[in-house]
Amino acid sequence: MSATDQIGRTLSFILKVAAARQDATPDQLHQLQTRLVPRLREFQATGDTSLCEAMLRDIMGAHWQPSGQFALGPGAALGHFTDEMRARGHDPNTILGPPR
């Protein structure tokens, strides 16, 4: 997986966590704080979202999906991110490297 693909996956995961935070019941919010937040350190160290994503599904329910502004897959999340960089006067290719 290229670095650009990894950035897209990471951004998509971050948006899922934000969506879960927004949609969570009080019990789910407590579980996010006590179960998921400590696991985020592993994600930081490895860059692998799979364990955290599985835990997020367990907490939020198998059928829960992000909605609205948070419902972005890796490609869309990366596209939104690069659009925002351009809007702020930055060249995404300078920051992320050329598309692969």
SS (H, E, C) 28-85: HHHHHHHHHHHHHHHHHHHCCCHHHHHHHHHHHCCCCCCCHHHCCCHHHHHHHHHHHH
Q: What is the pLDDT of residue 90?
A: 85
Q: pLDDT band for 94, please (50, 70, 90 cuts).
A: confident
User: Tens of pLDDT along 11-68?
Assistant: 888 888 988 998 999 999 999 999 999 988 888 888 888 899 999 999 999 999 887 7
Residues in the chain: 100
Residue with the larger pLDDT of the pair 51 and 77: 51
Q: Which residue has the tokens 């997986």?
A: 1
What is the model's pTM?
0.73
